[in-house]
Amino acid sequence: MSESTTLHRRIYDDIEGRILSGEWAPGARIPFEHELTERYGCSRMTVSKAISELATRGLVTRRRRAGTFVAQPRVHSAILAIPDLRAEATQRGLAYEYRLLARRERQPTDAERELAGGGLLLELDGLHLGDGTALALERRLIALSAAPEAASVDFSTAPPGSWLLDAEPWTEAEHRISAVSATAQDARLLGLKAGAACLCVERRTWRDGQGVTQVWQTFPGDRYDLVARFSPGRDARGDRG
């Protein structure tokens, strides 16, 4: 075993031990790579290799320009695939349509700065339809620092979710599902009564630690459900009804 390999393993073991012991709590920033390079007297490549392996194990998360942080403990499983509503509607034999309702480029709010990654956000409001019936109302933010080509895409003809799946492959995703009541404006667009039960799926995707998009999709409660099929000891597979 070479000296660099031994040192890389030592760095990995040291950081892992501090995390698992609770010395470095979830959300804490670990020393920058240049600081670890000085601490261990090794090359940047050796440190980066150890950090990459920790990230692969889910012990740390890398954030562009911010550093590396101890990952938050996860108590849920991602059992949902990233949906392509156009493909799903087509598979069901529906005539799919996406209507772009609003589009603007803007500065991020304080709460959106992590997603924006130092750049502007492209905000898109749209409506997904099948056979002329509203399937979902969508509000989407795209980080132009991660997907600069999105600024020139005509999303009145190309649904943003489908475009992102093809043009900006994701490496990490998070879903949050909640029951909501339709506001008066949302109810009008979805063809519902105000206050009707809806399902809201909020999703964020990252590519190599950099935020790409955040989207809220609101579905009429009687037109959408979630079904997950999985087996013990195997990765869950998400199906959508």
Q: Is the dihedral of CA 62, 65, 67, 69 positive or negative?
A: negative
At residue 5 the predicted structure's pLDDT band, cuts being 50, 70 and 90, is low
At residue 78 the predicted structure's pLDDT band, cuts being 50, 70 and 90, is very low
Q: In a 10 Å sphere around its CB, with 0-12 CB exposed, 13-18 middle and 19+ buried, how is residue 221 labelled?
A: middle
Tokens standing for 196? 């009707």
> β-strand 237-240 against 197-207: which pairing, if any?
unpaired
At residue 231 the predicted structure's pLDDT band, cuts being 50, 70 and 90, is low
Please give the CATH superfamily to which domain 85-240 belongs. Answer: Chorismate lyase-like (3.40.1410.10)
Distance, CA of 213 to CA of 106 (rounded, Å): 14
Does the pLDDT value for residue 103 go beyond 90?
Answer: yes
Nearest CA among 199, 205, 200 for reference residue 216: 200
Q: What is the pLDDT of residue 52?
A: 87
Per-residue pLDDT reduced to its tens digit, 129-181: 988 899 999 999 999 999 999 999 999 988 999 899 888 878 888 888 899 99
At residue 4 the predicted structure's pLDDT band, cuts being 50, 70 and 90, is low
Annotate 119-188 with DSSP letters as a single string.
S-EEEEEEEEEETTEEEEEEEEEEETTT-GGGGG--TTTS-HHHHHHHHS--SEEEEEEEEEEPPHHHHH
Only one residue has tokens 């900006």, namely 168
Does the pLDDT value for residue 241 go beyond 50?
Answer: no
CATH number of the domain located at residue range(s) 3-70 in this protein: 1.10.10.10
Q: Where are the domains of the chain?
A: 3-70, 85-240
Only one residue has tokens 């997950």, namely 228
